[in-house]
Amino acid sequence: MSTETNSPYLEDTQLRADIDRSLRHPVMFFFTSGAAWLAVSLVLGILFSAKVHSPGFLDGCSFLNTGVLYQAHLSTMIYGWGAQAAFGVIIWLMSRLSRQECKASGLILTAGHVWNACIAIGTIRILMGEGSGVAWMYFPKFIWPVLLAIYFFIGIWAVIAFRVRRGGHIYISQWYLMATLFWFPWVFISGHLFAIGYLGEGHEMMATAASAWYRSALMFLFFTPVAIASAYYIAPKVTGRPVYSYNLALFGFWALAIVGPWTGFQRLMGAPIPSFMQFLSAGAAILMLIPAIAVAINILKTASAKKDAMAHSPSLRFTVAGVVGLLVFAALGALMSVPGVMKYTQFSTAQYGLEITGLLGFFSMCMYGAIYFIVPRITNREWISVGLIRQHFWLTVYGVLFIAIFYTLGGGFLHGEILENVNESQDSAYTRLFPYAVSLTTGFIFILIATFFFCCHLLLMWLRLGRRSSHPTLLVRHAHGSPHGPEGDLDKLENLDSNLSTH
C-alpha cells in the first residue's frame, strides 16, 4: 500500500492481509491436496477394514490385498494428509507470527507438487506390491531421500521467517514450530536410516527397534507439536483472551521436549532388544500425560474464558475437540504401556486403534480447526455453508469415538483375551471379534462422509466460490446485531469509494 497512514492498527492489518495473500497458493494447495489424500486414505481404510471382517470382499484383485491396502492406507494418511496439513499450517503460522511475507511461494508450491507426485508414485508402488514392508515407511526406498529434500525446501523458509522476525515477543506457537522444524528431519533421517537403510544386512533387531521408535517419535515430535502450536494460536486469537498460564505453557513445552523422544520401544516389550529400552519407553509413554495435561488445561481454560466462543466458532470448536483428543490419546497410550495391560493389548487391534485415535482424533481435529481459520484469510472468502461444517464436525466426532471406544478399547482388550486363551478356536475368535471389526469400518465410513463434505467445501473455497462477505461463517446465527457490525457484501463496499466525494 503506497498510502501512508499513521494508524498502526491499519498497517498491521494490511501486513497480515499481505502475508495471507502471499501464501495463498502454497497453503491452499497443501490443504486441498492433503484433504484429498485423506479421503483416499479413508477409502483404502474402509476397504482394508471390510476385508478383515468379510474376507471374501473384493477377492481376486491382487492390488487390493489386505496387506497392501493397510500399507497404502497408513502411508497416504501420514504422508499425504498429515504431512501436508502440517506443512501448510507451519508455513502460514510461522509467517504470520513472524510478520514476514513469504517470498518463496512459488518454490514452496512446486515442492508441494513434487511431494504429491512422490506420494502418488509411492502409493501405486505399494498397491502393486513393491512396498518396503516396514511400518510407517511403506514407500519404496528411493522415495524417502526425495521427500527429505522436498521438506528442506518447505521448512527452510519458515526458519528464515523466524530468524528475521519482526517484534520482540516470541509466541508459544513459535517455540513449538521451531522445535518441529528441527525435530522432523532428525526423526525422519534417524528412523529411515536405521530402519530401512540397514535392512537385509543382518541388523534386523535394530531395524525393528528403530521402526518402533519412529512411529512414536513422528507422532510426538512432529504431529503433536504442530497441532499444539495451532491450538495455542487459535484459542487466544478467537476468544481474544490471553493464554491461561504462560508458565504452564513453558513447562508443557519443555516436558514434551524432554519426554517425547524416549517413547516407542514399549511396543517391543519382550522382544530381544535390551530390556532397559522397553521399560524406559513405557515409563516415558506414561509421563507423556504430563505435557498433555498441561497443554489441555491451558487451551481449555483459555477457550472457556469466553463462554460462547466455542458454540460460534468452527475453528475453536475443532481445536478444543482436538485438545480433548490429545488427552484421550495420551491417556490411552499411557494405559497401553503398563505391562499388566500390555499382556492384552500388545498384539491386538488396540495398537492400530491407538494410532488412528491419535492421527484422526487429535491431530486431524486440530488441523481442521486451523484450516477453518486459515482458508478464509488466504482466499479472502468466507465458508459457504454452515451445515457442511456442522456435519463435518459431528460425523468426525462420532467416527473417532466409535473407533476409540469400540475398536481400540473394546476390541483391543477382547482380542488380547482371545490371544491369551490358547484353546480358542479360529471360528470362535472370529465370531467374538466380528462386531468390533465392523465398528472400525463404521467409524471410517462416518469419517469418510465428513471428509467428503470437507473436501467439497475446501474445493469450492479453492475455486474462490466462497461467500464474499465481511462476516465470518459462524456456527450460530446471531439473532440481533453482530459484534462485527452489519454484514456487508464485499462487492458492495466498493461502491463506498465512488460515493465519496474526493477532495
Partner 1 sequence: MEPNLRDTPLRRFNTFWWGLALFVVFGIACFFLRTFVNDEMTDVDKERGQERLVKKDKVEAAQAAALKVDPTSVFDKLQNTLNAAPAASAVASPEAAEMAPAAEPTPAPAPAAPVEEAPAEAPTVTPAPAPVTPAPAAPAEPVAPTNPE
Partner 2 sequence: MSVQPIDPKKPDLEESTNVAQQHAAVSRSASAASREQQLRENGLEPVSVWLFIAGSIIAIIAGSVLFKSNNLFGYDEFVKSGYIQAEGEGGPPPVPQGPVEQVYMAKGKELYSGSCAGCHGADGNGASCPPLAGSSWVVDSPYVPAFILKNGLGGEIIVKGKASTGTMPAVGGSYSDLETASIIYYIQNSFGNEVGKLYTLEQIAAINEASEGRSVVGACTAAELEPLKKKQVTGDFFAAGTVINKKTGEIIEAE
110 binds partner 1 (CB under 8 A): no
Distance from C-alpha of 455 to C-alpha of 45, rounded to nearest angstrom:
17
End-to-end CA distance of the chain: 20
Q: Which of residues 196-225 bind partner 1 (CB under 8 A)?
A: 197, 201-203
> Between 57 and 96, how does the x/- string for binding to partner 1 read (CB under 8 A)?
----------------------------------------
With respect to partner 2, which residue has the nearer C-beta, 151 or 213? 213
Residue 459: name its binding partner from partner 1, partner 2, none (Cβ under 5 to 8 Å by kind): none
464 binds partner 1 (CB under 8 A): no
Question: To the nearest whole angstrom, how small is the minimum distance from the Cβ of residue 155 to partner 1?
Answer: 8
Question: To the nearest whole angstrom, how small is the minimum distance from the Cβ of residue 236 to partner 2?
Answer: 5
Residue 275: name its binding partner from partner 1, partner 2, none (Cβ under 5 to 8 Å by kind): partner 2
Residue where the block lists cell 520401544: 265
Distance from C-alpha of 418 to C-alpha of 414, rounded to nearest angstrom:
6
Distance from C-alpha of 343 to C-alpha of 118, rounded to nearest angstrom:
39
Distance from C-alpha of 96 to C-alpha of 162, rounded to nearest angstrom:
10
Distance from C-alpha of 221 to C-alpha of 183, rounded to nearest angstrom:
6
Residue 251 burial (CB count, 10 A): 16
Q: Which amino acid is at 186?
A: W
Counting Cβ atoms within 10 Å, is residue 306 exposed (0-12), middle (13-18) or buried (19+)?
A: middle
Phi, psi (rounded to 5 degrees) for 96: -65, -45
Residue 203: name its binding partner from partner 2, partner 1, none (Cβ under 5 to 8 Å by kind): partner 1
In angstroms, what CA-CA distances link 136 with 73, 219, 273, 404? 10, 11, 20, 20
Q: How many residues bind partner 1 (CB under 8 A)?
A: 23
Single residue of 21, 25, 53, 99 touching partner 1 by CB under 8 A: 99
Residue 113: name its binding partner from partner 2, partner 1, none (Cβ under 5 to 8 Å by kind): none
193 binds partner 1 (CB under 8 A): yes
> Between 2 and 31, how does the x/- string for binding to partner 1 read (CB under 8 A)?
------x--xx--x----------------
Single residue of 24, 96, 165, 215 touching partner 1 by CB under 8 A: 165
With respect to partner 2, which residue has the nearer C-beta, 112 or 236? 236
Contact 140, 131 (CB under 8 A): yes
The piece of 189-197, 288-296, 437-445, 461-469 that touches partner 1 (CB under 8 A) is 189-197
Distance from C-alpha of 82 to C-alpha of 80, rounded to nearest angstrom:
6
C-alpha cell at position 312:
460460534
Residue 164: name its binding partner from partner 1, partner 2, none (Cβ under 5 to 8 Å by kind): partner 1
Sign, CA torsion 323/327/328/332:
positive
With respect to partner 1, which residue has the nearer C-beta, 163 or 484? 163
With respect to partner 1, which residue has the nearer C-beta, 98 or 337? 98
Question: To the nearest whole angstrom, how small is the minimum distance from the Cβ of residue 99 to partner 2?
Answer: 12
Overall size of the chain counted in residues:
503
Residue 371: name its binding partner from partner 1, partner 2, none (Cβ under 5 to 8 Å by kind): none
β-bridge partners, 469: 489
Residue where the block lists cell 540397514: 198
170 binds partner 1 (CB under 8 A): no
185 binds partner 1 (CB under 8 A): yes
With respect to partner 1, which residue has the nearer C-beta, 158 or 332? 158
Phi, psi (rounded to 5 degrees) for 291: -65, -30
Single residue of 84, 95, 100, 441 touching partner 1 by CB under 8 A: 100
β-bridge partners, 467: 382
With respect to partner 1, which residue has the nearer C-beta, 13 or 428? 13
With respect to partner 1, which residue has the nearer C-beta, 113 or 203? 203
306 binds partner 1 (CB under 8 A): no
Helix axes 83-98, 172-195, angle to 10 degrees: 150
Distance from C-alpha of 422 to C-alpha of 415, rounded to nearest angstrom:
12
Single residue of 1, 164, 250, 459 touching partner 1 by CB under 8 A: 164
Beta strands in 327-415 (DSSP E): none
Question: To the nearest whole angstrom, how small is the minimum distance from the Cβ of residue 192 to partner 2?
Answer: 26
Among the listed residues 73, 78, 64, the one whose alpha carbon sits nearest the alpha carbon of residue 129: 64
With respect to partner 1, which residue has the nearer C-beta, 67 or 145? 145
> Between 122 and 161, how does the x/- string for binding to partner 1 read (CB under 8 A)?
--------------------------x---x--xx--xx-
Which residues have a Cβ under 8 Å from the Cβ of 361 and sit 6 or more positions away?
A: 322, 325, 328, 329, 400, 403, 404
Question: To the nearest whole angstrom, how small is the minimum distance from the Cβ of residue 161 to partner 1?
Answer: 9
C-alpha cell at position 417:
483375551
Which residues have a Cβ under 8 Å from the Cβ of 149 and sit 6 or more positions away?
A: none
Interacting residue ranges for partner 1, rule: CB under 8 A: 8, 11-12, 15, 99-100, 148, 152, 155-156, 159-160, 163-166, 185, 189, 193, 197, 201-203
